[in-house]
Structure 1
Amino acid sequence: MARYLTPSKVGLLVLVVLYASEEVPTSESIAVLDFIITYISPKARSAKRGSDDNLHDHARAVDVRSIPEASLGDRLRTFARRSYGGATNIAAQIESQIVHEREVGIAAEEQTARIIRTSPLGAFIRRCHLEYTRMQFQDATALWQQLIVYRAQSRQQYERRNPPSQSHPLDSNLTAFGIDASHDLVRIMYGQTLSSTGKAELYSLYDVKALLEFQVSEMQSSGSRMPEDMRQKLTEMSEDGSTLPLTHYLTFLDSWRAGDYTSAFDNLHRYFDYTMQSRDRSFYQYALLNLAILQADFGCASEAIPAMQEAIATARENKDTTCLNFCMSWLYHFGRTFPSDMKVIQDSGILGNETEGLAFLKSRAKDAEMWSLLSTSLLSEAKLGLQHGSTLLIRASAFSRLGLGSLAWSNSETFLSCCAPHAPVEDVLKCICRVAGFLAQRGRYSAVTETLQSVPKATLRILKYQNYLQFYSSLLKLRLLIRHNDLDTARRIATQLQGQDPPDIENSFFLAFSQIELSMAEGNLSKALEIVEETAQRAVSNNNDIIVYTRLLNLKARILAASNNALSLFSIVVRAAQLAYRSLCLPALWEAIGLLANLLNVLGEHNAALELLNAIVPRVLECHDCELAAITYRYLVDAEIGLAGLEKSNKTRRKEWVNRAVDHLDSAGKMYGFAEDMKGQLEVLYRKSMIMKWQGDLVLANDVASKYLEVKKKFGEMRV
């Protein structure tokens, strides 16, 4: 395979010469220049990639039939039929002409050539000339033979428009020597090219390397796997003998995304073994960096940390600031994700505490002008600030914490609509799962299924992301089964999820919360309390988000309330409310205030409970959480029924409180219906039926009782 020059590049070179010789019509000069620049400039090709799917092939051959002017195409074919020396010495002629004009002092505007040395065309000409002068004789002969095969594709079309001349169609020099195709010299020179089965090489090592580098950068930036058409193209190139060491690195990335640890490990070693053959240790630290990331991604933290420490030591030894900054950034994020595995690093004091580590990474990224690392560091700083309730830069998460469900939803939808094509695959997947979670809170379960099915198929080809989607989908299904009161199926799914490795720390806590709710639904309050304590200890060791603590405190308060031990939950609820208020986790704050109002109802302080609930109901509705809204309405009904019971002498006032309670019962039932909460709906219908009986409206009470039986039958059929 040629190093740089191919028949297609010779064709481009001839086209450049025709343009420089002013043989291109003025009306077509822009189109011709656009055609040339598209094939010699990677930046121009990547800019047009969105409008032409074929432009991702950097080594695509030149088709002379696509030249805009017919006469220019014929001129190109005529030029290409000259002898090899005439076709490839064009670059040298233009080079010498430019040098001569500079030496004699011809001004730039007076020069005959329209190609400047520093222009893309000038750089292309100089590269072709340099490669031609460096070619061995056998390589030059092979290129000429390939050019003959390449131009044979348009031979018939050319001869139909231009009658054959006296010159030989293979080489004009043969006519000068008086030699025909039967001569021995012709058979030696053009033996393979005379047959109809000859195939021109369309790619050079330079093209293949550029294609591989482009594909590696795409896979690294988006985190996706190799497209199928690109896989087939690389297979064709490897069959032509164009395998480069970078191919092993590309296979390593694809195997890594596919979850094939063995192949990824082997190809990583294979690639860096090739790079070490020249005794070049300049990239050894990157081999260790990739090895550490690979092992960490497959759960081998004990092997990943020593590899990363060695990568840091090697990067310092080689004074590679870029690699060192990447290593330090990886250590910080690994410590945030798996704090229990980072005890050795934390004790060594390499990064200090979290704030010092981020300050160090930001300063080093600015000094090295590594803007992507600086962006990552700033984003990590925003997440750290968000966990302490002071910085709200991640909008969707921030609005969700603030209880503004509509804004959280709109930001996620905006991201998926506008930024998804250019965002990393992992971010898109997590955003889709977040949208599905918002839909589940609103009770739109049919839309949840459609949203989860909208994940791109290319993303699901990556094992890690496929596992993430399956785990999150199972969690949503688990919560729905708990609300349907299908506890046997829910227990089986919870057991299966517990046996798996959660994809991240957030989903592991989501699973723990679901297990607590399942135990409460089963009536096993002691087990639910044990899970709360275990999860709290795990949250402390992982230095997790403040919202986890507030959620655990609220769950503990609900367990104590369910066990008729309401008086002991006062301090817990107040502490949860204080933490939620300080960190601006408003949905957790409204839940804690609702639990406090429920405690006041138990103590007979119905007026105080009503004031608290009336203050938070509008904010609760802004959260778009059906379950939270239903529970809040239920507490409000308890307060109003309690106040009705206090109005013993004023029957009119008592009736007003009861009517308000019935209205809020209907609202609670509506919310429980959206959430598909069976127990909640049955409880609401039971209480409404009892109120109707107390008011003496037996017909309406019977209607409510019939609805009670319908709901019970409906969920029974769903379980079947």
Structure 2
Amino acid sequence: MEAFVAKTSMLTPHKISLLILIEAYWEIIETDSTTPEKLEPLLFFLIEKISDEQRFPEPTLKELCDELTKISDNTDNTTNNFSEILLAKLVIIVTPHELTFSIKEMKRFFTRDARKYSLLGIFVRRCILEMNKLMFDDISRLYNAFIEYRDKRTTKPSTLFMKDAYVPLEVSEMTELAQRFHMHKQELIPKNDAESFSHYVITQLRKYGGILPLEIEEKLRKIHDRIPEISSIYYIEFVKYMQTGEYEGALTNFYKYSNFCPDDPENRSWYQYVLLNLVVLHAKFGHKEQAILAIREAIEMARENNDQECLRFALSWLYRLKSSDQTIGTRVSASEQQMLESLISKAKQANFMYLQALGELGKSQRQIQQGSPPTEVFESLLRSSVLNMNCPFKTMRFQGHLLNASVWQTYGSDTLANLFTNEVINNPDPSPEDRVTAICQLADNHVSHGNYLNAFEVLAKSKVRFNGIRRAVSQWVFCFEKLMYQKSFNRDEIFNIGAIEHQIRACCQDDDLFRADFEFNRALYLAKTDRPDEGVDVLHKLINQSCRIGNQNQMLVANYLLKIAEIRIETEDLTSALPYVLSSLCLSERFHYQSSYFLAIIRLAQILLNFELAGRARSMIEKIMPVILAEHSLHLQSIAQYIYAQCLIACINQDLQANRKQSINWQDVLYALDASRIGFKDLESISELLNVLQLINSDADKLRTLSYPFL
């Protein structure tokens, strides 16, 4: 006959065993005051079992006895075998009355051992309270579950502890009565343990994300099938579907979870937290307008109920969505901006550190976008870092590190950018989204220095961390495909570029930034395949899109303008290239984009070189060369060395034509050419490496006298 399932709030046969062990622990201490140290392992074991969040399903009696035997074997305790003590006391309990009496009788320890605030005391009081609340049917179910639990053991207690113990018959009258009413083989599910376990799973999902192990999935399915009224099960499904990017499944489970919202008007405060979860759902899937509507309703309810905690989270989400919105249709109005600043001010007054830190991070982002001086940007970042140190939400700390890395990357310091990126990667607590962002930043940095092997190794090691998390997986795949594209592009592998382009197109449809990056790479591909005008058209479209959004993407605009100039330089249309270089130079200087600024100066020097202004071009590069060599990417260093070598050769030729004494040493030319050759070789940039070798070959006679190794 199949086992029937019965629910209980707390009491189970396993907890009765723990109560018996607690009673035995206190009795031994009462009779022998010299044994507390020997009983410490048992005490720690009991505390661990009582406070364990993962105590579902509960262990069988055999499993519990095995653990107790290990404790007894590992301690210097020859007189007290905890497993034998437990079994001896269990077999004494024969009737339901004895079961209830043995629990209620533990009140005698309240005066001395079971203190009010001790873990053991709280546990015993809760069990006694639950026992007093049980009806007759509940006691019968508990008793039959206890008999089933006890009779499943395979180990019998020794006769040392069973001198006067009554051993029940195999089939007693109570067992026959239980069979008649289908109360035998009854499984008792503790509701509070199931809830505790589901809450533990929620914290793990929020912290680490990913797909749950099969063992936990089976436990959750068991809870869902047998105690469907536990709302947190639907919340777990809601979070899982959000992470895997399945909107319908997330929405369905959200509404199932929301159905547990109480209808009692006096208990409506619960509903505002349901609205916050709806905000998270819409924000996760990019539905910003719906998210903002839900936030406003949650704010109104939080104000109505004077719930400052809920109001804090609602305002932080409102600020986050408003500050990150990049569409012209929902841009922050002056009144809304004033409202947000007012909310941040109130957060400071109320000492809401999370909202203050979020505000400072948003302020730093705006300052970068508006071209504020770096000192102001770093002041905001420093204030945010100080707040994050005391903020209970670690996610703000990691987002601060990522923003610091991005800022230092913008200002041209790869070393400091890597420092903050590694702070996130080497910490076990970041969310999957923060971790994948840091890993992609690190991989990009490796590639910029020609370390393809390290870049792909970093990505390969992190791949398993993001299984089942759609957003993180998409970002990881896009980064991997982009690096493959860049490697093939540098190698002039045209067929591979076309194949990878199709793969990138498929994984960037849902993200505006990914799509813009794809279009940028497509423009480079068109230019490389002798279609420069088409590539320039694509770049102009990207510039127009960025200008419609506002000033959020001025660094991208500077890069687009510079790339148009480079395409024009490649086609030897220097007159057309000059205005694009100057525009990029002005934007980069205004917004403090150091890498773009230096590359624009190098391209301007290249144009001046063709206008026979070699001296001016040379001095421009010499001013920025120390910073480039100290802090910037290998590609920028190699380009700078290559153009600098051209400037030096042009200066030498001018001296020769004017019959002047040479102001340039050919050894300097050799050094610059060799540095650029090595750099482009490490980057596997075939076309640029060929340009260097061609320049070397054109001056072969002069360089041969210096014993150049490749001539």
- Shorter-normalised TM range: 0.7 to 0.9
AA paired with 1:168? Y
Query: Number of residue pairs matched?
Result: 659
* Shift in CA distance, 500/193, structure 1 to aligned 2, threshold 3 Å: closer
Cα displacement (A) at 1:210: 0.8
Structure 1, unmatched stretches of 5+, are 46-54, 102-112, 171-179, 705-720
Cα displacement (A) at 1:181: 5.7
- Are the aligned partners of 2:655 and 2:661 in contact in 1 as well (CA < 8 Å)? yes
Cα displacement (A) at 1:593: 1.8
* Shift in CA distance, 398/491, structure 1 to aligned 2, threshold 3 Å: same
For 1:626-645, what aligned pairs fall within 5 Å after superposition? 626-645=634-653
1:528 — aligned with what? 535
* CA distance in 2 between partners of 1:156 and 1:229 (Å): 27
1:156 counterpart SS class:
coil
1:622 — aligned with what? 630
1:422 counterpart SS class:
coil
2:12 — aligned with what? 6
- Are the aligned partners of 1:405 and 1:622 in contact in 2 as well (CA < 8 Å)? no
- Are the aligned partners of 2:14 and 2:58 in contact in 1 as well (CA < 8 Å)? no
AA paired with 1:258? T
- Are the aligned partners of 2:242 and 2:281 in contact in 1 as well (CA < 8 Å)? yes
2:422 — aligned with what? 413
2:433 counterpart SS class:
helix
2:270 — aligned with what? 283
For 1:428-439, what aligned pairs fall within 5 Å after superposition? 428-439=435-446
* CA distance in 2 between partners of 1:185 and 1:668 (Å): 92
* CA distance in 1 between partners of 2:67 and 2:674 (Å): 71
* Shift in CA distance, 199/342, structure 1 to aligned 2, threshold 3 Å: farther
* CA distance in 1 between partners of 2:55 and 2:464 (Å): 20
1:64 — aligned with what? 65
* CA distance in 2 between partners of 1:38 and 1:695 (Å): 77
AA paired with 1:625? S
2:134 — aligned with what? 135
2:522 — aligned with what? 515
AA paired with 2:19? L
2:237 — aligned with what? 251
For 1:199-348, what aligned pairs fall within 5 Å after superposition? 201=188, 203-241=189-227, 244-276=230-262, 281-301=268-288, 303-340=290-327, 343=330, 346-347=332-333
Question: Which one is further off, 470-479 or 147-156?
Answer: 147-156
2:332 counterpart SS class:
helix
* CA distance in 2 between partners of 1:665 and 1:149 (Å): 85
The TM-score with structure 1 as length reference comes to 0.82
For 1:231-630, what aligned pairs fall within 5 Å after superposition? 231-241=217-227, 244-276=230-262, 281-301=268-288, 303-340=290-327, 343=330, 346-347=332-333, 351-352=336-337, 357=340, 359-366=341-348, 370-387=352-369, 388=371, 389=374, 390-392=376-378, 393=381, 394-417=403-426, 419=427, 421-494=428-501, 497-498=504-505, 500-501=507-508, 504-542=511-549, 543-567=551-575, 572-630=580-638
2:21 — aligned with what? 15
The TM-score with structure 2 as length reference comes to 0.83
* Shift in CA distance, 21/442, structure 1 to aligned 2, threshold 3 Å: same
Question: Which one is further off, 588-597 or 223-232?
Answer: 223-232
1:267 counterpart SS class:
helix
AA paired with 1:620? I
AA paired with 1:6? T
Cα displacement (A) at 1:250: 1.0
1:125 equivalent to 2:131? Answer no
2:259 counterpart SS class:
helix
2:92 counterpart SS class:
coil
- Are the aligned partners of 1:361 and 1:374 in contact in 2 as well (CA < 8 Å)? no
* Shift in CA distance, 659/509, structure 1 to aligned 2, threshold 3 Å: same
* Shift in CA distance, 293/184, structure 1 to aligned 2, threshold 3 Å: closer
- Are the aligned partners of 1:403 and 1:622 in contact in 2 as well (CA < 8 Å)? no
Cα displacement (A) at 1:591: 0.9
* Shift in CA distance, 142/165, structure 1 to aligned 2, threshold 3 Å: farther
1:188 — aligned with what? 177
* CA distance in 2 between partners of 1:240 and 1:194 (Å): 17
* CA distance in 1 between partners of 2:9 and 2:433 (Å): 38
Cα displacement (A) at 1:161: 4.7
Structure 2, unmatched stretches of 5+, are 1-6, 73-79, 382-402
2:689 — aligned with what? 681
* Shift in CA distance, 95/526, structure 1 to aligned 2, threshold 3 Å: same
Superposition RMSD on alpha carbons, in Å?
3.5
* Shift in CA distance, 7/56, structure 1 to aligned 2, threshold 3 Å: closer
AA paired with 1:169? V
* CA distance in 1 between partners of 2:210 and 2:347 (Å): 26
* Shift in CA distance, 494/72, structure 1 to aligned 2, threshold 3 Å: closer
Cα displacement (A) at 1:640: 0.7
Question: Which one is further off, 405-414 or 11-20?
Answer: 405-414
CA deviation vs aligned residue, 1:141-164 (integer Å, no higher than 9, x gap): 111222222233446331x45485
Cα displacement (A) at 1:58: 8.2
Cα displacement (A) at 1:666: 2.0
1:710 — aligned with what? none
CA deviation vs aligned residue, 1:476-495 (integer Å, no higher than 9, x gap): 22222222223454345445
- Are the aligned partners of 2:92 and 2:167 in contact in 1 as well (CA < 8 Å)? no
* CA distance in 2 between partners of 1:696 and 1:138 (Å): 102
* CA distance in 1 between partners of 2:316 and 2:161 (Å): 69
2:672 — aligned with what? 664
1:31 — aligned with what? 41
AA paired with 2:599? E
Cα displacement (A) at 1:667: 1.6
2:166 — aligned with what? 168
AA paired with 1:114? D
Cα displacement (A) at 1:676: 1.2
AA paired with 1:380? G
CA deviation vs aligned residue, 1:103-158 (integer Å, no higher than 9, x gap): xxxxxxxxxx2221122222212211111111111111111222222233446331
* Shift in CA distance, 278/188, structure 1 to aligned 2, threshold 3 Å: farther
2:398 — aligned with what? none
* Shift in CA distance, 131/377, structure 1 to aligned 2, threshold 3 Å: farther
Question: Which one is further off, 548-557 or 359-368?
Answer: 359-368
